[in-house]
A and B are shown apart, each in its own frame.
Chain A
């Protein structure tokens, strides 16, 4: 080009910095899987991986919703309670003899409605998402016990068939319906984040809400949308959980929001927003699942070891993000 051309100094190394946390998670996952395969012969069975997906399909769906929220720099503490409430409402309505299709529609509306309302409060009253969704969490959990103090079993034909449906190959490996649903949710979410204005606005708001506003982006609408999406994902997660357990229990999924946040963060999404991928969240959920599986295979370890390991990993990943963030400036 001309002499005046600016070849502005890009700073240092070419490795795409944004992808480092995701790559780190991928490496961690491979290492853990390698450990499993080397220690336990049965670990190499493909069904082990499928089981991780089957056991964590609902968690994955909820984590995808949480990814949207965290990408904007927000947080949604209500997801665990909304999952439980959705399962409770489904179980209670089915017990009253309502047709399965109608129950599905109603159950799937509760989460997004609550999410929409929380998003509105967060946006219009400029209240911290932490406190608003904490209120949502108590409300939804309270509604569970209000519906019933005890667990309600589900005997509906559609639910039981969903629960028992196995989609498999001739070798006998299979996944459940919930895995398929989770897969579809992941694909739609990844597409939304990468290719739609809504998705790009989510990243912009997470990067700098003030700038996003001045660039004329619909900040309020997007904020409300992410909490609605998170609510919808929690509702789908609740349905999947009720397929899995065939019941609605008032105290199920207590503390699940924290597992979900851990999965999203381990998956490389930065808690302050603006950077992260749905693919990372999938990896994050798999990391949690593989840790559980490893501990189950070991047999001698207390299941609380899962929490200890997750705690350590969470620390490590937040530190990693921080270090990358410092370099960034």
Chain B
């Protein structure tokens, strides 16, 4: 496998944007029949490298060869035509068109200008069969899950006789079984001799699928390694460039005595709280200084619980007590009045206003709480923003940069700061660490610990069990839109037990039936 000549090489690639050196003298090579993981924190230059490769950006310096021929693509279309196809994180297909049409649109087999639909469907079926997918090719793409759509995107990409397939974070919105399907297809394509460049934030996936790893840091090349020769811990160290002791200390935090925290009146207590079609009625208490983790699979109702508690969706019934007194959480405005803050999982669509600056984004929630007629003095704004830019280590540390120019992790931090400025008593964090790099992830985890030590209650939602277990005092488990269990995070609780609860339901549920 490694003896053969590389199908693709990139040598001495440098690329600068005004004020930023995005890539500096990076080398990269890709062999036929390998899965090559490109690793690095957000802002390390992974996306830039891919965009340079596919011709979205020009290079300032450096050369790219494909089969020993120098190439310089003018855009993704030309790259695709030359056999370098890219599948992005967001599925870039049209859900209103059929599966077959999505694979072939733009290059349909035609007869005298008329699309030969029979032929389109037949070829689509053949192609999907090669990927071991049995789909109804005439069905609209939108009737299939995101994972299937992702695979249809891959089918579209490899049909163009691809020799290099670039997968840019294809797994970030897939659940475990869907990832397994994707990997099966990746292995198959690899065995057919296609070179796969794989970008992901999930370390486990890298070790499961990749043969070779290239690590970037701050726009520079750290090195190229065989996966088998690079232990996971060293990989993380190479990515962040420092020893990984930051995680220590967090671990012990959550093991504190839950009973001590749960004394006294809960900050928020809801019972029979639910919404038809979204979540079955549940009861939950959250005390000051408590971190409640919400675990469960994608689509199990985690986000729905958060939205109910924030009043973004209205509960059908049930009781709400705030500080022991009957209250109401029927609209976000009410929730904010009670000191609830909500960082949405969908930071692009529901949180960040991309065109506004870091400062303006941070001030939004506080301004809303004060009412629009009482502007926050600019000096006070600058003070607050400076404080949180420093505290959260937001890069670049310039409050006037439009948020769209920040990496995902830094956008997430801005969103966090927005709510922290309002000093909420209960902060709901929905997947705050998804799609961000390990350094930023650690910082956010540390921050959650600090906040709860300071007396803030946190509802922490994450698909990563380890993270939930590391931070939470109590773990509520969701399954099929029901809260099936609430587990105290003591010595006896580990990922396996939570997993079992997710998989099989809990005793409580059995008792209920």
Contacts and interface: CB of A to CB of B under 8 A. Distances in A.
Contact of B134 (A1, A17, A196, A201): A1
Contact of B97 (A204, A214, A216): A204
Contacts of A7: 134
Contact of B105 (A210, A215, A329): A215
A200 B97 CA distance: 9
A10 B94 contact: no
Interface string A286-318: 000000000000000000000000000000000
Contacts of A212: 94
Given A2-B132, A212-B94, A215-B93, A197 B108 contact: yes
B188 to A, nearest CB: 9
Given A1-B132, A2-B132, A6-B134, A203 B97 contact: yes
B115 A197 contact: yes
Interface in B67-110: 76-77, 80, 88, 91-97, 101, 105-106, 108, 110
A80 B27 CA distance: 61
Interface stretch (B36-44, B140-148, B367-375, B441-449): B140-148
A252 B397 CA distance: 62
A211 B110 CA distance: 22
Given A4-B132, A196-B115, A197-B108, A210 B148 contact: no
A5 B77 CA distance: 31
A1 B115 CA distance: 30
Contacts, number: 94
Nearest to B91: A211
A211 B93 contact: yes
A86 B129 CA distance: 54
Contacts of B144: 8-10
Most buried by B among A8, A17, A203: A8
Contacts of B136: 10
B288 to A, nearest CB: 38
A216 B113 CA distance: 19
Contacts of A203: 94, 96-97
Interface in A1-52: 1-2, 4-11, 17-18
B108 A18 contact: no
Interface residues of A, number: 35
A220 interface: no
B261 interface: no
A178 to B, nearest CB: 28
A2 B136 CA distance: 17
A199 to B, nearest CB: 8
B114 interface: yes
Contact of B94 (A1, A6, A194, A211): A211
A65 interface: no
Contacts of A190: none
A125 interface: no
B96 A217 contact: no
Among B106, B115, B129, find the residue whose CB has the most chain A CB atoms closer than 10 A. Answer: B106
8 contacts: A6-B148, A8-B134, A197-B115, A201-B105, A208-B95, A215-B93, A328-B142, A329-B142
